Structure 1
Amino acid sequence: MIIFHTIESIFSIVLMIATGYILTNKGWFNPEASKLFSRIITNIALPTYMIWNLMSTFNKDGLLHLATGLVVPFSSMLACYIVGYVVSKVIKVKSNRQGTFRSMFFVSNSIFIGIPVNLALFGEESVPYVLLYYIANTSLFWTIGASGIRNDGALGKEKVSPLEVVKKIFSPPLLGFLFAIFLILCNISLPRFILDTCKYLGNMTTPLSMLFIGIAIYGVKLSNIKVSKDMIAILLGRFVVSPLIVMGVTHFIPLPLLMKKVFIIQAMLPVMTQTSIVAKSYGGDAEYAAIMTTVTTVIAIVVIPVYMLIFQYYF
């Protein structure tokens, strides 16, 4: 029964992505619409969703207990980066792709895909764990990951100020998360009409994220997708190495079962959407990143039910 529920949930996500793809093909959406959706999701939907979800789910004691799980995503992602670094040397990834390759190997699309997928699989109670993984994911991407991508590009030789890095890490979604934590720790309650507004705005996250992904997939030409050792290595990194490392870490660090499952799903999600954006801004191989984002997103739809089947028999 669990596997059928999973497939149904994934089909719902597929239909929303397909809607974005079809409407882009019909001319309803274009790159400007994609940028608009991204800005709405990042600056409005996600921050308000985090405020509503956390304040509706946690009290002070529960929040303090939740924070202990942060060590798992940070340690597992750092371990995955090391593996990706070694792999990039062994298979001799091109010098103008090495940073991008390593970033795609160890960082996942933990928010645009992470929230819709985990909501579909585990329900609202999974969201706080999704946000924990997101903290590690965004912190490491905008430090280690972005630094490597910057070194790939012709425009990335200039020094980046620490202030710029901090601004990238403390994005609106993370600020919304921290604001909610502050209110909870200080025992401050928001009026019901504000929480309801946050809920309604936050509910835009899933449909807009899926439409955004559909637009992005449409923008990649199938003729440009060629199987290579880079692609195979990234697929193994995303769907095998990264979740296996999380399983290994959680073997030594006991976690609530749902938190463990969410972290594993977060670890095996597709390449982070912002990878191609950062690569483009620094004059790197943005098309390479965009192709891998598309390929891993499509393959994730097949892999997610496999992990849910593993959960059913081994957890």
Structure 2
Amino acid sequence: MILTFLHAIESILTIIVMFMTGWLLTHVGWLDEKTSLIFSKIIVNVSFPCYMLWNLMSNFDKAKLQELSGGLVIPITSIVLSYVISVLVSNLLKVDPRRKGVFRCIFFTSNTIFIGLPVNLSLFGAESTPYVLIYYIANTCFFWTLGNYEISKDGDEGRETGKFSLSTLKRIFNPALAGFVVAVILIFLDIRLPRFVMDSCKYIGELTTPLAMFFIGIVLHSTPLKKLRFDRDLVVLLLARFILCPVVVIGLELLIPIPPLMAKVFVIQAAMPAVTSTGVIAKQYGADYEFATIATVVTTIASMIVIPIYMVLI
């Protein structure tokens, strides 16, 4: 049990080491605010679309995608329900309009691949991978569509346009989603890309996590200490990430019978911290990226306490 716990925590410590490296590089003057803007553009428009293409086409074929698609019911339903709750809670609490979308996005989506995958592998072994990827597909779709749209409304342009428009469609159908759609189409058409294309997508895609972590380090360095505190919104997000969302999944699993291992993986996936790219997206749209970054860091560190609890319960 102790060894498994240590393996699960290692993935979180890796994330912490990376964003602290970004903080240190900013402190010595190698990185700055202008660099963070460049990083956010690279992640959203280049590295993550490549990552999506490589990841899906490396892990799925047509038969496997069709076989696992039935397991999407619980992840999709739980994320939709969590989103509805996030809207109700954010309106009830009258969350600041400049961070309302960020609040909702962190509330209903989780870090299912960069932390979720290694944690599940440590807890349940390689046989958990297909179920991790099922939740990852649902979570990623919602993050880059609904989550991306909610965050975009926090920015000046989003608040001005307000209603659904052509600008809204452009924000929803972003490069990351395009990478996902292209990958799914190629898989169903049984088209395999040349090895050099896949390798290129892999290497470019692997820039996503370190660049996102360096971005977090830059923002943390430039954020005044008085902002690094537990306010009401952050406390609610901690409760949502680690209690409410997993409970929603457990409730659905009581109604919809699924294999025991799949059920355990879905609960763990729902209890993961905020997606590391949340602050990057917020920066892109001129939203409250400082709050997004702080929430990402705090939920990531808090997961070191939460994961052992779920290990015991599960």
TM-score bracket, shorter-length normalisation:
0.7 to 0.9
Q: Does 1:42 align with 2:44?
A: yes
Quick one: which of 218, 237, 240 aligns to 2:221?
Answer: 218
Deviations along 1:27-85, one digit per CA (max 9) or x if unpaired, are 11112211222222222222222222222221211112333344334322332233334
2: distance between equivalents of 1:192 and 1:227? 48
The corresponding residue for 2:143 is 137
Letter in 2 for 1:49: Y
Cα RMSD for the two superposed structures: 3.2
CA positional deviation for 1:182: 1.1
Count of aligned pairs = 301
The answer to whether the Cα contact below 8 Å between 2:37 and 2:284 also exists between their aligned partners in 1 is no
Report the counterpart of residue 103 of structure 1 in structure 2.
Answer: 104
TM-score by length of 1: 0.80
More displaced stretch, 202-211 vs 270-279: 270-279
Could you tell me whether the CA contact under 8 Å between 2:47 and 2:208 is conserved in 1? yes
Kept in 2: contact 1:73–1:246 (CA 8 A): yes
Q: Equivalent residue of 1:190, what SS?
A: coil
Report how far residue 261 of structure 1 moved.
2.3
8 A Cα contact 1:104 1:234, kept in partner: no
CA deviation string 1:254-280 (max 9, x = no partner) = 456358526643554227325744773
* Shift, 1:294, TM fit: 0.6
| Contact in 1 for aligned 2:148/2:281 (Cα 8 Å) | no
Distance 1:55 1:155 in 2: 34
- Match of residue 201 from structure 1: 204
Instruction: Identify unmatched segments of 5+ residues in structure 2.
Output: none
% same residue: 33
2:194, 2:28 → 1: CA distance? 43
CA distance in 1 between partners of 2:200 and 2:219 (Å): 29
1:13 to 9, 15, 18: 15
Change (3 A) 1:87 1:16: same
Aligned letter for 1:177?
F
Q: Where does residue 2 of structure 1 map in the other structure? A: 4
Instruction: Provide the residue aligned with 2:188 in structure 1.
Output: 185
Q: Give 2:19's aligned amino acid.
A: I
Question: 1:292 and 1:198, CA in 2 relative to 1: closer, same or farther beyond 3 A?
Answer: closer
Counterpart selection for 1:280 from 275, 282, 286: 286
CA distance, structure 2, for counterparts of residue 16 and residue 95 of structure 1: 30
Aligned equivalent of 1:168: 171
Q: TM-score, normalised by structure 2?
A: 0.80
Q: Which amino acid aligns with 1:79?
A: L
Aligned residue among 120, 123, 142 for 2:118 = 120
Once residues 176 and 285 of structure 2 are traced to their aligned partners in structure 1, the CA distance between those partners, rounded to angstroms, is 22
Q: Distance in 1 between matches of 2:157 and 2:199?
A: 47
Identify the match of residue 270 of structure 1 among 256, 259, 274.
274
Q: Which moved more, 1:48-57 or 1:298-307?
A: 298-307
- In 2, are the aligned partners of 1:70 and 1:136 still within 8 Å (CA)? no
- Superposed CA deviations along residues 184-230 of structure 1, whole A, max 9, x for unmatched, are 11111112222222222222222222212222222221112344433
Separation in 2, partners of 1:40, 1:295: 22
- Find the residue that maps to 1:75 and give its secondary structure: helix
Tell me how far apart the structure 1 counterparts of residues 157 and 190 of structure 2 sit (CA, whole Å). Answer: 50
25-34 or 158-167: bigger deviation: 158-167
